[in-house]
Structure formats: structure tokens, C-alpha cells
Amino acid sequence: MTTKTHDEKIAKLTFTSVYPHYVTKVEKKGRTKAELHQIISWLTGYTEKQLQQFIEHEITFEQFFLNAQLNVNAHLIKGVICGYRVEELENPLTQQVRYLDKLVDELAKGRKMEKILRHK
């Protein structure tokens, strides 16, 4: 269970400020920025060009997910990230951000791409 304050903090956090941490996390574990972009695109539907625009501008996660076309299999992302079970989060935006965190974590842990992208 998250608090309203926690959810508001997540909404105001900028994608631009978190993105370099995603890159560092996956590259430190031998994965690539291209793979990171692939999982972000899978989750959100954004193109490489759109991602570059988001990275260059100070947009919040609220703005980032506002026009995202969440993958139909996103609900298959399960497990604990940052102390929260993602499938139980009630705030949709917080859940979407934690979905992304979970995918990045799986990539950094060496999980196969077809498993990360929830192909059946």
C-alpha cells in the first residue's frame, strides 16, 4: 500500500532524472542502452524518437505515462520492486512507474528479453 504523498512524489519525479540511473544499472550488468529502450518501448509504445525527446526534456513521470499506450501484457508484470508488490498497487501511475522499474531490474539481472517482454 502506498500513501498519497508517495504517489504524488512518484508523479512529480522527472523521467530525465531517473533515466541515467536506468542506463547505469543495465550497462553495469552487461546489458545495452538499446535493450533498455526496447523494454521502455514495449511497455509504453513510444518510438525511439519519442524517447529521445523525453530524455532531452524535463518531463515528469505523470507526463511520460499520460500518452503511453501501455502494452496489453503489462498486467503480467508481477513481483516486488522497491518494497512494493507491483500487481497490488492501486494508483495507476505509481503502478506504471513500478512496472518500468521492474522491467529495468529484470534486464539488469540478466533475464532473457523474451521473458522480460512477456511473450507467451
Give, for all 120 residues of the chain, the pLDDT tens digit.
678 888 899 999 999 999 999 999 999 999 999 999 999 999 999 999 999 999 999 899 999 999 999 999 999 999 998 888 999 999 999 999 999 999 999 999 999 999 999 875
Domain 4-112 of CATH type 1.10.8.290: yes
Say if residues 41 and 51 touch (Cβ distance below 8 Å). yes
Residue tagged 494508483 (cell numbers):
91
- The closest alpha carbon to 34, from 18, 17, 52, 16, belongs to 52
